[in-house]
Amino acid sequence: MKILVLRFSSIGDIVLTSPVLRCLKQQTGATVHFLCKESFRPVVASNPYVDRVFAFQKGISEVLPALRAEKYDLVVDLHRNLRSLQLKWRLGKRSYSFRKLNLEKWLLVNWRINRLPAVHIVDRYMACVAPLGVQYDGGGLDFFIPEGQDWRQRIPAAEQPKQPFVAFVIGATHATKRLPTEKLIYLCSHIQQPVVLLGGKQEVALGEQVAAAVGAHVHNYCGRLSLYESASVVRDADLVLTHDTGLMHIAAAFRKRIVSVWGNTVPEFGMYPFYPTGMEANTSFQVNGLTCRPCSKIGYAACPKGHFACMKNIPTDAIAARINHPDSPEK
């Protein structure tokens, strides 16, 4: 059997498909191919449970002839949008699609009516392939770093932190998922271990500002590392402090202790850190009781209400205490 799995974006969403890829390969013996956007190819390119990765820049027409030539037996749609619907129609193959729950998310965002099932999106992904007799194996997420893609080969020894250190993912695609600068500085000032700041090129200046304000125990790696190299920092960290980002899910794939900070999005969307069965190593911090939250299932460039209370009121003292004393009981 030859199966094409669809998940076009983004980093975290593709990492969350990894249990499906593993279980499909191990339990059916199928040839498994994956289709995503070109910019996200590295997320899945090194996955040993995927036999081939197809990717497109702007549209599926770029790869449609090659996909047709593969003569798939089945398409597993873990994206479920207009583009994936068009592709399935053009391929004309049997397909399974996961429940996206757009109506339920709309009700929660617009009317604060929670009709979302209390299950992780991984469970909904796995339900998509249940008709094949494929079951979740309890093994959590996967992320694979190719040989030679290690942060210590990129960062000079003089700029490397002493162990143990905290990896702090200060970036996020949308501003309403990110802590204000003053809170980043406060947290870094109160974390007792060395701190490595992770983010993309757009966070370089922010990282420099935070590192300059706090001092030598903060190491700004924003914009200096590839995805794989950033993932290797996460892998080597003692703890990962993160917004709702792709690196949060990569941290869960490495079974790291996580402190996750939630702004306009909420864990109830079903995309909180996902660990192997029987393991729980995440502590979530969020401002409960805000009538405007969640304001979006994705995020905004600025708070729609102007007050940004979901992040400005985050209890930074409690976060620092949790990081500095991880074995203390939660209050």
Percent of the chain scored above 90 by pLDDT? 98
Task: Considering only CA atoms, give the Rg of the chain.
Answer: 20
Distance, CA of 112 to CA of 90 (rounded, Å): 38
In this predicted model, what pLDDT tens digit does every residue of 61-76 receive, in sequence order? 999 999 999 999 999 9
pLDDT at 327: 78
pLDDT surpassing 90 at residue 175:
yes
Using 50, 70 and 90 to split pLDDT, how confident is the model at 54? Answer: very high
- If DSSP codes are grouped into helix, strand and coil, which group holds residue 300? coil
pLDDT surpassing 90 at residue 285:
yes
For range 36-49, the mean pLDDT: 98
CB of 294 closer than 8 Å to CB of 105: no
User: What mean pLDDT, rounded, does the chain reach?
Assistant: 97
pLDDT at 204: 97
Using 50, 70 and 90 to split pLDDT, how confident is the model at 197? Answer: very high
In this predicted model, what pLDDT tens digit does every residue of 123-137 receive, in sequence order? 999 999 999 999 999
Residues in a beta bridge with 23:
none
CB of 177 closer than 8 Å to CB of 245: yes
For range 39-49, the mean pLDDT: 98
pLDDT surpassing 90 at residue 309:
yes
CATH of domain 2-132: 3.40.50.2000
Using 50, 70 and 90 to split pLDDT, how confident is the model at 326? Answer: confident
The answer to whether domain 2-132 and domain 151-324 are alike in fold is yes
pLDDT at 329: 67
* 140: DSSP letter: -
For range 171-184, the mean pLDDT: 96
pLDDT at 330: 64
For range 106-120, the mean pLDDT: 96
What architecture does CATH give domain 151-324? 3-Layer(aba) Sandwich (3.40)
> Rounded to the nearest 10 degrees, what angle do helices 18-28 and 121-129 cross at?
30
Where exactly are the structural domains of the chain? 2-132, 151-324
pLDDT surpassing 60 at residue 240:
yes
pLDDT surpassing 80 at residue 22:
yes
In this predicted model, what pLDDT tens digit does every residue of 91-101 receive, in sequence order? 999 999 999 99
In this predicted model, what pLDDT tens digit does every residue of 250-273 receive, in sequence order? 999 999 999 999 999 999 999 999
DSSP string, 149-214: --GGGTS-GGGPPPSS-EEEE---SSGGGS--HHHHHHHHHH-SS-EEEE--GGGHHHHHHHHHHH
Percent of the chain scored above 70 by pLDDT? 99
pLDDT surpassing 80 at residue 235:
yes
